Amino acid sequence: MDTQNAVDPELYRMAQDCPEGLTDEEIMRVLCGSNPPQGESLGETLFSELFSRYHVRVTLWCLRFTRDRSRALDLTQEAFFRAYRHRHSFRGDSRFSTWLYAITRNQCLS
């Protein structure tokens, strides 16, 4: 994702008012923009929105891979932590879900 561009003020306002109305890619644009959310509260809210959209699917993917519920839950948490920590590596040339599943796959394989 090109982080050199400032986030559109309207998109930033929407992220503050109604994050559930944004697409995954719009959320990532706000999280990774050159004017990131002030304070951690908006950033946490936005990433929590992504977590709520994908945690069940990621957990099921990990469960199919490991066949161990406890390990699948741990891998899910680790994958989301890695995604948040490396959110600036999201370039936006693929869907957020593709990027997240690649992180999840790599987490499961390691």
- Asked if the structure places residue 102 within a domain, the reply is yes
pTM for the predicted model, two decimal places = 0.85
- Asked if the structure places residue 2 within a domain, the reply is no
What CATH number is given to the structural domain containing 91? 1.10.1740.10
- Each residue of 28-63: pLDDT tens digit? 999 887 565 555 688 889 999 999 999 999 999 999
> How many residues in the chain?
110
Query: CA 70, 50, 79, 75: dihedral to nearest 10 degrees?
Result: 10
- Asked if the structure places residue 3 within a domain, the reply is no
3-state SS track over the chain: CCCCCCCCHHHHHHHHHCHHHCCHHHHHHHHHCCCCCCHHHHHHHHHHHHHHHHHHHHHHHHHHHHCCHHHHHHHHHHHHHHHHHCHHHCCCCCCHHHHHHHHHHHHHHC
- Asked if the structure places residue 4 within a domain, the reply is no
> Range of 80's domain?
9-109
Average pLDDT over residues 60-69: 95
- Asked if the structure places residue 64 within a domain, the reply is yes
